[in-house]
Amino acid sequence: MYKVGIVDDEMLIRKSLGMLLDLHDDMAVNLYAANGAELLMLLAEPGQPKPEVILCDLEMDVMDGVETTQKVLEEFPDMKIIILSSHYEPGLIVKMVELGASAFLPKNESTEEFYKTIINVIKNGFHYNDQVVKLIRENMKFGGRNSRMNTVALTKREEEILNLICTEKSNKEIADSLCISPRTVEGHRSNLIEKTSSKNIAGLIIFAIENGYHRVNLKSKFWGS
């Protein structure tokens, strides 16, 4: 049973998302908060079970989604955060990716994509659609970001594993594809995060996108744009 936290300043939204998650046999909400400050207070409570993923609204009073993501990941680096929003401003999306957000969900998304995103984030650490990947590459190209390719040398095996990670393959799926053990894959994954100076799997994906290890293939329309 996957534990999910919900952070939104509208009670009706919190309860509606909770009811939706309760319909899924593998998910249960174990934390509700009206803003980032309340979330941090609840996470700090002794004995409070930590959710595996947090659904976080972007626009909230007291502490918004940007500050919430930053502060939560500073205190709980392994926490996974999915941003919920009705606004798709490219610069803000890139900023949230850079802060470590594991995924983005528009509030008018289908229930199938809603569940799929949560499961992928829990199992793989991220879920970026092709348009988000494109935005990251464009920001790297036109925003003056410096690539780390010249200072980080990956082995052929590391490149293979990084590419498979970017396609949202699990450790077992990667292991089966390369005929190695899941434990070996996990070792490579950890080494890649350290080697590329990435804070978490989201940072590793950014490195892969910036350096061309994950190609963009726009097949779907971007969130209603």
* Assigned token pair, 97: 């990716």
State residue 110's pLDDT score: 86
224: pLDDT confidence band, cut at 50, 70 and 90? very low
Q: Does the pLDDT of residue 88 top 80, yes or no? A: no
Fold (CATH) for 2-127: Rossmann fold (3.40.50)
Q: Report the range of poorest mean pLDDT among 48-57, 133-142, 157-166.
A: 133-142
Which helix or strand (DSSP H or E) is residue 84 part of? strand 80-85
Residue % of the chain over a pLDDT of 90: 31
Going from N- to C-terminal start, the domains of the chain cover: 2-127, 139-210
Rounded CA-CA distance 140/108 in Å is 29
Q: Does the pLDDT of residue 7 top 70, yes or no? A: yes
* Cβ atoms 220, 129 nearer than 8 A: yes
47: pLDDT confidence band, cut at 50, 70 and 90? confident
State residue 222's pLDDT score: 37
* Cβ atoms 17, 6 nearer than 8 A: yes
State residue 144's pLDDT score: 46
Tell me, yes or no, if the two domains 2-127 and 139-210 fold the same way. Answer: no
Matching residue, tokens 């978490």: 200
223: pLDDT confidence band, cut at 50, 70 and 90? very low
* Cβ atoms 83, 69 nearer than 8 A: yes
Matching residue, tokens 């996974």: 80
CATH architecture of 139-210: Orthogonal Bundle (1.10)
State pTM to two decimals: 0.74
Q: Report the range of poorest mean pLDDT among 82-91, 144-153, 208-217.
A: 144-153
Rounded CA-CA distance 205/10 in Å is 32
- Mean pLDDT confidence for 118-127: 87
Rounded CA-CA distance 73/77 in Å is 4
State residue 166's pLDDT score: 81
Which helix or strand (DSSP H or E) is residue 48 part of? none
- Mean pLDDT confidence for 165-183: 87
Per-residue pLDDT tens digits for 142-154: 444 444 444 678 8
Contacts of residue 104, defined as CB under 8 A and 6 or more positions apart, other chains included, come to 82, 83, 85, 93, 96, 128, 129, 132
